[in-house]
Amino acid sequence: AVTRKYQFDVQMTSVTRLCSTKSIVTVNGQYPGPTLFAREGDHVEVNVVNNSPYNMTIHWHGVRQLRSGWYDGPAYITQCPIQPGQSYVYRFTITGQRGTLWWHAHVSWLRATVHGPIVILPPLGVPYPFSPVPYKEVPLMFGEWWKNDTEAVIAQALQTGGGPNISDAFTMNGLPGPLYNVCSSAKGETFKLKVEPGKTYMLRLINAALNDELFFAVANHTLTVVDVDALYVKPFAVESLVIAPGQTSNVLLTANNNPNARYYMLARPYTNTQGTFDNTTVAGILEYEDTSNGKAPSTSSLPILRPTLPEINDTSVVSNYTAKLRSLASAEYPASVPQQVDREFFFTVGLGTHPCQSLINGTCQGPNNTRFAASINNISFVLPTTALLQSHYTGMSNGVYASNFPFYPLRPWNYTGTPPNNTNVMNGTKALVLPFGVAVELVMQDTSILGAESHPLHLHGFNFFVVGQGFGNYNPSSDPAKFNLVDPVERNTVGVPAGGWVAIRFRADNPGVWFMHCHLEVHMSWGLKMAWVVLDGARPDQKLPPPPADLPKC
Ligand code: C2O
């Protein structure tokens, strides 16, 4: 294991997409940002220098941060933001993960443009547990682009109490592709993947879009899923897959098709939200190299083939896909699923409403003159003005957060039948406290005042096992008997199914304060988030070390 050092200069950069130019926040002037490479077991140090006019933090999404919570990144949870002109060195070790993760800004909605891949290779000399060995590996990062200023989009979404202005395009490695109506100066805005016939490629997929789950497919090429959220899975082949914001996945693609054609790689939303959303399609193009003379054929005359993507609201495709995900559970890569649980929790997650009076500005776009709120167990989380982790560490949580996050919903709910009248969601900065080492089972149930909606829930500081999922109301007397405690998939972001529930298990072996939230940015802004406090254990190696000297101050 080695130490890998990176320099991240956060700055304003002029970027042109869809024929219009705007100034965006970037790292090192790049959109998407630079790729961070490490091997499992390596130590990583990233010096983040904030030369932008905005407060900044960087989160290493999915990195476990075992006893290094000071470097996790969510603003006002584990740290105060890095103010303009200031810097902070993030230091962490990659433990027990291999595959693809990503980094992104974790303050306001700045992750819209501040994000990049984290490529984690196995330790030197350790092979992949699948075959064939990929000839090349290619990160494929999906994003969402607004022609409008990102800050204006944020302000609009937060002030109206309705949905955000829909994006103008999805992007693949920062490029929208040819299916958008673009001017001639935008001709280069297509991601192209050149492949050699017969070779196998590993695509490292990352969904960095703000508000949309995406279906992905490549025309005439099967994808073999080998890894999700930097953890191996039992390989399986699919024609298309779904990936939620926050999720990552490695898939193998073998170039075994007619080289005299081109193939669209397409991504488009999966959603059953009512109302308006961006239903456009980002396209990249897969092209074969002509290996006979070592040069690429003149491709512009070749036919271009299109894959079939599932219908935009096809929830059954999504649940069939997620049901196939199984961890390896092998001798080398065992699945350490807690077989007994010490703490059981049941959370409702979804949308509700606040009375309109709580609106500071703008109009009320929620039903019956209300404002949308999103909540977990009817609590809409309010960020404090100082960081929870510091308050916890110094024993001064009074006035910052309350340790009484409810174990069960405070109001009755019923998914089947009329959606619950989930009004008067309460605001609060509440945490749920766990003793070190307890095995936790958490069932999350989708509820909504509007209709079913899938919520990609992301837990910081842990991977968890997805032991069960289903539609309708969770039944505590019959559903646990069907849990998979043998080879459930292990990940850091899981979709709570639209109109259904998901059950996860994890062991609270990482002391600190850990954020959990919906990775749809608009739902997070509306309060679909909460914090776990994991107490120190008795042994020295079960305690959170003291904060670093350069930890930013509020
Ligand atoms: Cu990918 Cu709390 O974040």
Q: Would you kindly state where each structural domain of the chain is located, as residue ranges? A: 1-125, 130-327, 343-542
Does the Cβ of 98 fall within 6 Å of ligand 1? Answer: no
pLDDT of residue 449: 64
CA of 491 to the centre of ligand 1 (A): 13
Residue 421 has pLDDT above 90, yes or no: no
Q: Is 455 in the pocket of ligand 1 (CB under 6 A)?
A: no
Q: Average pLDDT for residues 162-186, to the nearest whole number?
A: 83
Q: What is the DSSP string of 87-123?
A: EEEEEEE--S--EEEEEEE-STTGGGT-EEEEEEEPS
User: What is the CA(529)–ligand 1 centre distance, in A?
Assistant: 11
**392 three-class SS:** helix
Q: Which residue has the higher pLDDT, 157 or 357?
A: 157
Q: Which CATH architecture has domain 130-327?
A: Sandwich (2.60)
Of 40-44, 300-304, 352-356, 519-523, minimum mean pLDDT range = 352-356
| Mean local confidence (pLDDT), 435-450 | 90
Q: How far is CA 326 from CA 29, 56, 124, 433, 439, in A?
A: 39, 36, 26, 30, 20
The span from the CA of 16 to the CA of 186, in Å, is: 8
CA–CA dist 137, 206 (Å, integer): 13
Q: What is the pLDDT of residue 371?
A: 67
Token reading at 493: 């972001």
Spacing, Cα 125 to ligand 1 middle (Å):
31
- Give CA–CA dist 327/226, Å, rounded: 10
Which whole number is the average pLDDT over 398-410?
92
- Given a cut of 90, is residue 452 above it in pLDDT? no
1-125 and 343-542, same CATH topology: yes
Report, at the CATH architecture level, how domain 343-542 is classified: Sandwich (2.60)
pLDDT of 388 reads 98
Q: Does the CB atom of residue 104 touch ligand 1 within 6 A?
A: yes
pLDDT at position 298 is 62
pLDDT in tens, 112-163: 999 999 999 999 999 999 999 999 999 999 999 999 888 888 777 776 656 6
Most confident of 319-333, 347-361, 421-435: 319-333
Report which ligand 1 atom has the smallest distance to the Cα of 245: 1
Report CA-CA distances (Å) from 510 to 73, 394, 428, 462. 16, 18, 24, 8
pLDDT over threshold 60, residue 417? no
Ligand 1: residue whose CA is nearest its atom 3: 61
Residue 441 has a pLDDT of 98
Q: Which CATH class is domain 1-125?
A: mainly beta
Classify residue 476 as left (phi > 0), alpha (psi -120 to 50) or beta.
Answer: alpha
> Whole-model pTM?
0.95
Higher pLDDT: 497 or 250? It is 250
Map tokens 């699919």 to a residue.
238
Predicted local confidence at residue 551, as pLDDT: 98
Atom of ligand 1 lying closest to residue 62 CA: 1
CB of 514 closer than 6 A to ligand 1?
no
Categorize the per-residue pLDDT at 415 as very low, low, confident or very high, splitting at 50, 70 and 90: low
Is the minimum distance from the CB of 515 to ligand 1 under 6 angstroms? yes
Average pLDDT over residues 409-432: 72
Pair of tokens at residue 491: 């990940």
- C-beta 106 within 6 A of ligand 1: yes
d(CA 216, CA 208): 14
Euclidean distance between CA atoms 349 and 372, whole angstroms: 14
Dump strand ranges (E) for 62-197: 87-93, 99-105, 115-121, 136-145, 169-172, 192-195
Confidence tier at 93 by pLDDT (50, 70, 90): very high
Check whether 538 has a pLDDT greater than 90. Answer: yes
The helices-and-strands tally (H runs, E runs) of the chain is 4, 33
pLDDT at position 103: 98
Does any ligand 1 atom lie closer than 6 A to the CB of residue 111? Answer: no
Beta bridge mates, 26: 11
505 neighbors 468 (Cβ within 8 angstroms): no
Q: What is the mean pLDDT of residues 491-512?
A: 96
d(CA 515, CA 321): 27
The CB of 458 under 6 Å from ligand 1? The reply is yes
Establish whether residue 268 lines the binding site of ligand 1, counting it when its CB lies within 6 angstroms of any ligand atom. no
What percent of the chain lies above the pLDDT cut of 70?
Answer: 89
- What CA dihedral angle connects 424, 428, 434 and 436, to 10 degrees? 150
Average pLDDT over residues 26-38: 98
* DSSP SS3 for 154: helix
Contact, 184 vs 239, CB < 8 A?
A: no
pLDDT surpasses 80 at 193: yes
Whether the pLDDT of residue 464 is over 50: the answer is yes
61 lines ligand 1 (CB under 6 A): yes
Q: Where are the beta strands (DSSP E) in 181-281?
A: 192-195, 200-207, 213-218, 223-228, 231-238, 240-243, 248-254, 262-270
Q: How far apart are CA 228 and CA 494, in angstroms?
A: 11
Q: Output the pLDDT for position 492.
A: 98
pLDDT of residue 360: 45
Q: Does any ligand 1 atom lie closer than 6 A to the CB of residue 523?
A: no
The reported pLDDT for the residue numbered 447 is 83
246 lines ligand 1 (CB under 6 A): yes
Higher pLDDT, 519 or 19: 519
Q: Quick one: pLDDT band at residue 359, thresholds 50, 70, 90?
A: very low
pLDDT value for 299: 67
- Å from CA of 114 to ligand 1 middle: 12
Q: What is the average pLDDT value for the chain, to the nearest integer?
A: 91
Q: In what order do the strands lie in the sheet with 455-459?
A: 431-434, 529-534, 512-518, 455-459, 493-496
Residue 133, class by beta-carbon neighbours within 10 Å (0-12 exposed, 13-18 middle, 19+ buried)? exposed
| pLDDT band at residue 267 under the 50/70/90 scheme | very high
- In this predicted structure, the answer to whether residue 493 has a pLDDT above a threshold of 90 is yes
Residue 151 has a pLDDT of 80
Give the pLDDT mean for 390-407: 95
- The answer on pLDDT for 300 being more than 80 is no
